Amino acid sequence: MALSGYGAFLNTMRSNHAVAPTPDALRPSTWRRALREYRALARDRALLLALIVATLFVLIAVTYPLGATLAEAASPEGIRVLSDVLRRPVYHRIILNTLVMGLTTAAI
């Protein structure tokens, strides 16, 4: 049984190692499909509004406080406080426990 379409293309690529196959994300058909989905999203007002609200929530509730905290930590006062905190053994244990919890969660 002869392969057609993408299967035949892959067999051709396997036999010719000089040219690598194009990843699916870079194929024009993938981009066209994504563009059609975004156009459909623009036609559905409720879905578009929900996406805008969710994006604003993430920007306001997550990104802004995180950026403000990092900016404060980079100030001279923030660096002094951070160095004081990192000298205490109790914070070493907290950091270790956090890393262990994160790695355990990732492993599961």
Tens-level pLDDT at each residue, the chain (108 residues): 555 555 666 566 555 555 555 666 566 677 788 888 888 877 888 988 998 999 999 999 999 998 888 888 888 898 898 888 889 999 999 999 999 999 999 998
Indicate the DSSP class of residue 82: H
Give the pLDDT of residue 32: 82
Give the pLDDT of residue 101: 96
Distance of alpha carbon 85 from alpha carbon 8, whole angstroms: 61
Give the pLDDT of residue 88: 92
* Phi-psi category of residue 5: left, alpha or beta, with phi > 0 → left and psi -120 to 50 → alpha: left
Q: What's the whole-model pTM score?
A: 0.42
